[in-house]
A = this chain, B = another copy of it.
Amino acid sequence: MPTTRGLRRDDADTTGHKTTPPARYGMSLEGHLVDGAVHVAGDARQRFYDSRGYGRPTGGREIDLSYVEAAHLLFRGDLDAVDGMAFRGFFAWATEERRRFGLRFLVYSDLRDRGFYLAPAREDWPGPDAPDADFAVFPRGKGPADGAIEHRVRVLGEREPVAPADLSPGVLAVVDEESEITYLEVTEPALEGSATDDLPEEVPGVLLEDRVLCWEGATALYEQGFYGQPLAGRHSVVEDAVQLSLVEAAWLASAGALDLGDDGYGRVVARGRAVEGERFDRRLRTYGELRERGLVPKTGFKFGSDFRTYADFDGVESLGHSEHLVRVVPPGHEFAPRDVSLDVRLAGGVRKRMVFALPGANGGIDWLSVGRLTP
């Protein structure tokens, strides 16, 4: 399994199965419900665990299977029944017995189909050390006995909201209402850029409605720092005017680079709050931290986000591609998987990485980067 770019098929698992039916060794094989697991006797350890990574050994040649694993072996015809239940009966029974069993079965089955070995890692199955995950997916070519975990996969229904605290780095497998699965990878982004802020002092500006106009002296701010936007038509007597957004103006005023008269910073922030409430404060904090990290943030409006950011910035003349889209979310925000899907799909389509900024109560900001894994 590759480190980041996708869940790929492990051909080793599929060898020999494509043209021949599963080997059955000429005997009927049944599991039995014992203490919340499916116990399988005979040579189950060799047949399922050693060679294909199902279950956990219970000593000797026997194994316990989690319900999901047992269902998958029934589904494949490798197991005939569990206490007399064939796949249909067991599936319906387990769906009643275990919350979200159906979702987990779909994801387990999909990852197996893609050639991965994986093990359950939830409360009902004290498996590998993968807190908050449903499955531990092993590195390419490895199994449960090798001790390494490549991915922690959490299973979600598309209607289940996710709190930021639950969005720990790992893989989210979102099952939509039509049982299609979208894999999302959550990581901690490396947000560092090369921009240096060599700001001028006290460029004069005026606050007009929800933006600030600098009639003169702000051209360098624009050209060297990508602050604002020139107010220039194709034929204009106004040559040097630059418009600043309220966020840009507040940041520049706080740095002493913009002079808006008495209490300029306070008036810009008050105007920002008047037009967008507390969201303005969150966005200003995020903007400031991005600038401090050497990134150049500009509006992400055309992409439906708060900011797009440029990491390698050396003046607007040589402007490159922006790498990240940043959405600032309010405290306590719960992510709807559908909304995350929308953001991540759009970002991928424009070759950017989606980043969520979560300003905390302590003044810091947590950052989460989410991308789609395309199996």
Contact = CB atoms under 8 A, between A and B. Distances in A.
Contacts of A341: 301-304
Number of identical protomers: 2
Interface stretch (A118-126, A133-141, A230-238, A254-262): A230-238
A155 to B, nearest CB: 13
A75 B208 contact: no
A221 interface: no
Q: Determine the main DSSP class of A at the interface with B.
A: mixed
A46 interface: no
Nearest to A349: B349
A253 to B, nearest CB: 16
A301 B75 contact: no
A92 B206 contact: yes
Contacts of A238: 75, 87-88
Contacts of A17: 234-235
A345 B206 CA distance: 33
A301 B346 contact: no
Contacts of A301: 158, 174, 176-178, 180, 182, 338, 341
Contacts of A333: none
- Which range holds the interface residue count of chain A? 35 or more
A225 interface: no
Interface of A: 14, 17, 21-22, 74-77, 87-88, 91-92, 95, 100-103, 109, 112-113, 157-159, 174, 176-180, 182, 206, 208-211, 213, 215, 228-229, 231, 233-238, 243, 245-248, 275-276, 298-299, 301-305, 338-339, 341-343, 345-346, 349-350
